[in-house]
Amino acid sequence: MFYVLFVFLLGHEWTRVAGKEIATLHPRQTLQAERLTIDGEGVRYALALPSTAGAYEVKVSYPATVPCDIVLELISQDNEVLSKSFASRRLLNTEKLIFHVDARGTLEGNQPWLLVRATATGIHWLGPNIQAEGLVYNIALEPLLLGIPFEAFSLAPLLLLLIMVVFSGFYHVAAHCKHSHVCITETLGTYTDPPRWKAGATSSKREN
């Protein structure tokens, strides 16, 4: 518990691989203001995955002012590509990669590493002769439950409350409309029905 809190407050945990410091990405953690060179070799991350089977989503978000595509790759220690995204920009300037690990927390028997790369594309908003060299981005690793990120379930109580408010409002409006309809019907009935004394007088004349 204290270790997770420490990592959360510190923001980064580093792993030393081949003489290089590599940031470690934990589930339900977001690293902000990360930097990489466009058309460069990319940035590698160590994934601190538990030894349990599960599905995860890596999400990278970056500003739309930088014309580039993000490519996410899961690689082995031998740099073999295990899984890869396809720079689809499905939601604004966000790139995602979903993957599954086995009960040992491995992918195809390998401990997966994440490689984030950016390739230049399009025209910069300052002009065609301007080329951005670097990119600042946020990266997050989210566990999935039934294909939905865990963070989405935190909105479930709010969504349930909203549904209850809507149905409650609909019930009160329907009850009010029904009451108004009854009142209008009763009011119209007092004007359309003939007075009882006139009806009685008419009946007496007919009998005579």
- Which alpha helices (DSSP H) does the chain contain, by range? 2-10, 150-153, 156-192, 196-207
Residue where a domain terminates, one of 114, 132, 153: 153
Are residues 139 and 58 both part of a single domain?
A: yes
Residues 102 and 17 in one domain: yes
Q: Which two tokens stand for residue 101?
A: 């690990």
- Amino acid 207: pLDDT: 54
Order of strands, edge to edge, in the sheet holding 43-47? 13-17, 20-25, 43-47, 113-120, 68-75, 81-84
Nearest one of 25, 20, 14 to 137, comparing CA atoms: 25
pLDDT in tens, the chain (208 residues): 444 444 444 457 776 665 577 899 999 999 999 999 999 999 999 999 998 889 999 999 998 888 888 999 999 988 899 988 866 555 568 999 999 999 998 998 899 999 999 998 876 666 665 667 789 999 999 998 865 655 655 555 666 667 777 767 666 666 666 666 555 555 555 555 555 555 555 555 555 5
What tokens does 14 get? 């580093």
CATH at 99: 2.60.120.380
**Half-sphere exposure of residue 92, counting CA atoms within 13 Å on the CB side?**
8
118 and 42, same domain (yes or no): yes
165 plus 147 within the same structural domain: no
Query: What is the model's pLDDT at position 5?
Result: 44
Give the amino acid at 82.
L
Query: What pLDDT was estimated at residue 6?
Result: 42
Q: Which range marks the domain in which residue 176 is found?
A: 157-207
What is the SS3 assignment for 124? coil
Judgement on whether residues 162 and 135 belong to the same structural domain of the protein: no
Counting the structural domains of the chain, the total is 2
168 shares a domain with 100: no
Rounded CA-CA distance 97/56 in Å is 8
Indicate if 113 and 41 belong to the same structural domain. Answer: yes
Which residues touch 172 (CB under 8 Å, ≥6 apart)?
A: none
76, burial (CB in 10 Å: exposed 0-12, middle 13-18, buried 19+): middle
The predicted pLDDT at position 21 comes to 78
Residues 27 and 82 in one domain: yes
- Tokens (6 digits) for 78: 């031998």
Distance CA 21, CA 10 (A): 16
Regarding whether 162 and 149 lie in a shared domain, the answer is: no
